[in-house]
Amino acid sequence: MCPKSTSTQKSLDFKKNMKIKIAVGVALFIFWAVVVAILVSAMVTHQNNQNKNLLGSSNNSVVAPIVVAPGQEIVLSSAEVAKHNTAQDCWMIISNKVYNFTSFLTVHPGGAYTMTPYCGKDGSQGYQTKDLSRPTNHSSTAYSMLAAYYLGDLNQKITGTQLNQNVQNAQQAPALFGGGDREND
């Protein structure tokens, strides 16, 4: 064989090997892209199922009704708030004010699971810090939204008519704010 032919053969082998290496590299990239896509899809599905399990339903219009006679008075005490301690009936105290967040759980940007531990309890600390090791306050939008879910001040005595109207307003609030598209709440 002449030296030129050996050189040409090596050049062809080199090109062939490069093509194989490139093909393997592309295949590996596609493989890992598919694996990551599957994992992300699984995590999103798991999160959605977790919210559904917490709420019992994806339909946030099913809210436990409050039955208080119009002439009857009720005190918004800690004991009264403690009766509303589920995702289907979630009252919470924040800064000595009582809120009904039942209808908001499904649209909360951080997920229902971040709020449900505070149903029936004082959630002031959790609200003010977002329960993070490095506390982060809620946005001004989130603070302005509180009014829509407000039932009354802690230990305030209110009539059944007032309470039922406030509960009805809170149930309709997510539609007013357009769901979970708010700024980093």
183 lies in a domain? no
> Residue 156 sits in which domain range?
73-177
Structure-block tokens of residue 90: 């979630």
Do 97 and 12 share a structural domain? no
Q: Distance between CA atoms of 159 and 162, rounded to whole angstroms?
A: 5
Contact 76, 143 (CB under 8 A): no
Q: Distance between CA atoms of 161 and 9, rounded to whole angstroms?
A: 93
162 lies in a domain? yes
60 lies in a domain? no
131 lies in a domain? yes
pLDDT score, position 61: 46
For 86-116, how does the pLDDT look when each residue is reduced to its tens digit (9 = 90+)?
A: 988 899 999 999 999 988 888 888 888 889 9
Do 51 and 134 share a structural domain? no
For 16-68, how does the pLDDT look when each residue is reduced to its tens digit (9 = 90+)?
A: 888 899 999 999 999 999 999 898 888 877 766 665 555 554 444 444 455 57
Q: For residue 80, what are the contacts with CB-CB under 8 A and spacing of at least 6?
A: 74, 91
Return the ∠ at Cα 175 (arms to 174 and 176), rounded to 5°: 90
Position 167 pLDDT exceeds 90: no
Position 1 pLDDT exceeds 70: no
184 lies in a domain? no
Average confidence score pLDDT of the chain: 80
Do 85 and 125 share a structural domain? yes
Kindly report the length of the chain. Answer: 185
For 2-11, how does the pLDDT look when each residue is reduced to its tens digit (9 = 90+)?
A: 555 677 777 7
